Structure 1
């Protein structure tokens, strides 16, 4: 698998994407994946209670840690390349230990964050400081600081909240019941939202929200597999995409780093790419892994990952050859 640094994409490069490596030794579905912002690293959390760290430049599993007591649901990198925040699946009501700050280097829990008594469904790290946010089915968003155990702020909301910071860390968005998206100044969120958008005509819960790298667009995925691209300043709907339903498996969509394309899974096991400016589909592929619940494009590379119970790395196939993807020996470098 040959890695390419990211350059501005065109339709031909997007169409050429193909599977370059496959990791298939997971003991359950992969719940979430996250790329480090500055290093060639990927982290996954899965139903087999494992958190796994990958070197994406070499398609190599670097480390596996197991979390039988708490489980592994949502996961995201902190700024340090070997530490992550992971949400728990088990014992939430009894322990309140809904979030853990984990060192992948020496398999230690550096801090527990207690507060949510129900599952965390959205988790994101500030791109500029030690703040992070979690959204839970307990109808709250909590703001935290890695250096402090106690919650720094709470927003009470209707429905299942989904959260995201913009790329500068100045603004965060909270999507909630009824298709409402509220924007907050991250330095004075206690004053309430400075703007509210409504995604007209769709009242399904938003299961994921992302800002484009240039901050001009927002990407929403809903529980009924609709995907919307919104203008991040005025909230106008730039385009909407309806995909095949996948009961009990919400799909994820992702921007490319240049903000020119959106990729998404679908309930029929296909992957799709659209040009935002041209408002047209430019590519579709068989995912080869069933419904891809997790889908993210790497911040600094011409690659994306798609995951179900299997993790696949997709890269441009410049040779146009029919070579088989690399089946990786996932035992190398693995530790429990």
Structure 2
């Protein structure tokens, strides 16, 4: 990650991007923005494929289904009057395939099962709902305290739910009605969790919290392997993401490495992270040496969304602009000097 190339997409009417998601098998990216739009992109060419607008409901959280042209999108407006908290959308013909009613307040967490047609949503109404794309009715409800955040593991066998006081509950997705099979706390941090991700091998979990901390946890026992503190950014919950091999974490606004645990040091051998400043600059750091290894100026403002593509050596950062970051294989990955010429910015499209 010491050297990257950059492509930007600047859509004048897009507004701030609220969420984004990569398709698991196709080279596609979907975003939901403040202008009530859902946009579909080809990530190989960094080209916009389709834009649909949803003025009645808005576009808040978004995620792909298994079909490359279908997504689930959460409601931003008129939730009290319609109760239509989630919609199943066809990007191909801009058609609503199904409404999902149940949540009384805004959905803040949304994820699709990697193995079947079920998906989960967590809402500020203190509930997690489990759905099936094929039917309108909710398939299961978990009533929780605090801000619920949800995630499936990469095999679809387990899902995690974060709730009040930093508690994480793990459920068997085939028998969740029997209750959690494990519960643990985030190393004494009682802040609410705003995002959960599992590594591809299912061994680690990545959490970001509302008090600007990031943790890497053992997914089996809940032990804290690593921790980072974040520079606060007003009204922005920063995302973090695993690289596909699970050896790296990419994030923005990262400030301090919190743990000196030998297990963590072993885990993070050659481990780097990226941080961003308010002007859109991203920085790569080597955790072991704590030296900056690269700096890239994206000029995109405060980054609100950040994810690594599941099938590509690429990550995307978003504010009102999408930035596609691709490692340059011709660079020396062990070079720990900051190279101001390390990036090539393509023409804006």
> Same fold by TM (over 0.5)?
yes
Asked whether 1:326 is paired with 2:346, we answer yes
**Secondary structure, in 3 states, of the residue corresponding to 1:51?**
strand
Change over 3 Å in CA distance of 1:273–1:198 after alignment to 2: farther
8 A contact 1:123–1:163 mirrored in 2 = yes
Quick one: which of 15, 25, 28 aligns to 1:38? 25
Counterpart residue number, 2:310? 299
**Secondary structure, in 3 states, of the residue corresponding to 2:31?**
strand
Give the drift of 1:328. Answer: 3.5
Give the drift of 1:274. Answer: 6.2
8 A contact 1:16–1:317 mirrored in 2 = yes
Counterpart residue number, 1:21? 8
Counterpart residue number, 1:202? 189
Quick one: which of 217, 233, 239 aligns to 2:226? 239
Counterpart residue number, 1:220? 207
Counterpart residue number, 2:277? 268
Structure 1 residues 278-287 or 14-23, which shifts more? 278-287
C-alpha distance in 2 between matches for 1:293 and 1:307:
6
Change over 3 Å in CA distance of 1:30–1:194 after alignment to 2: same
Give the drift of 1:323. Answer: 6.6
Counterpart residue number, 2:91? 104
| Larger RCO, structure (CA 8 Å, separation 6 or more) | 1
Quick one: which of 43, 47, 55 aligns to 2:34? 47
The CA deviation string for residues 190-234 of structure 1, in whole angstroms up to 9 with x for no partner, is: 111000010133222211000000101000011222100000011
Change over 3 Å in CA distance of 1:240–1:51 after alignment to 2: same
8 A contact 2:4–2:342 mirrored in 1 = no
Quick one: which of 169, 173, 185 aligns to 1:182? 169
Counterpart residue number, 2:139? 152
Count, aligned residues:
315
C-alpha distance in 1 between matches for 2:13 and 2:285:
30
C-alpha distance in 2 between matches for 1:19 and 1:99:
34
C-alpha distance in 2 between matches for 1:250 and 1:169:
26
Change over 3 Å in CA distance of 1:39–1:282 after alignment to 2: farther
Counterpart residue number, 2:60? 73
Change over 3 Å in CA distance of 1:250–1:283 after alignment to 2: farther
User: Structure 1: which 5+ runs fail to align?
Assistant: 1-13, 330-336
Give the drift of 1:287. Answer: 4.3
TM-score normalised per structure 2? 0.86
8 A contact 2:4–2:343 mirrored in 1 = no
C-alpha distance in 2 between matches for 1:237 and 1:281:
23
8 A contact 2:285–2:294 mirrored in 1 = no
Give the drift of 1:62. Answer: 0.3
8 A contact 1:47–1:72 mirrored in 2 = yes
Counterpart residue number, 2:301? 290
8 A contact 1:60–1:328 mirrored in 2 = no
Give the drift of 1:324. Answer: 4.6
Change over 3 Å in CA distance of 1:212–1:281 after alignment to 2: farther
C-alpha distance in 2 between matches for 1:281 and 1:93:
50
RMSD between aligned alpha carbons?
1.9
C-alpha distance in 2 between matches for 1:179 and 1:313:
32
Change over 3 Å in CA distance of 1:186–1:119 after alignment to 2: same
8 A contact 1:132–1:145 mirrored in 2 = yes
Give the drift of 1:23. Answer: 2.7
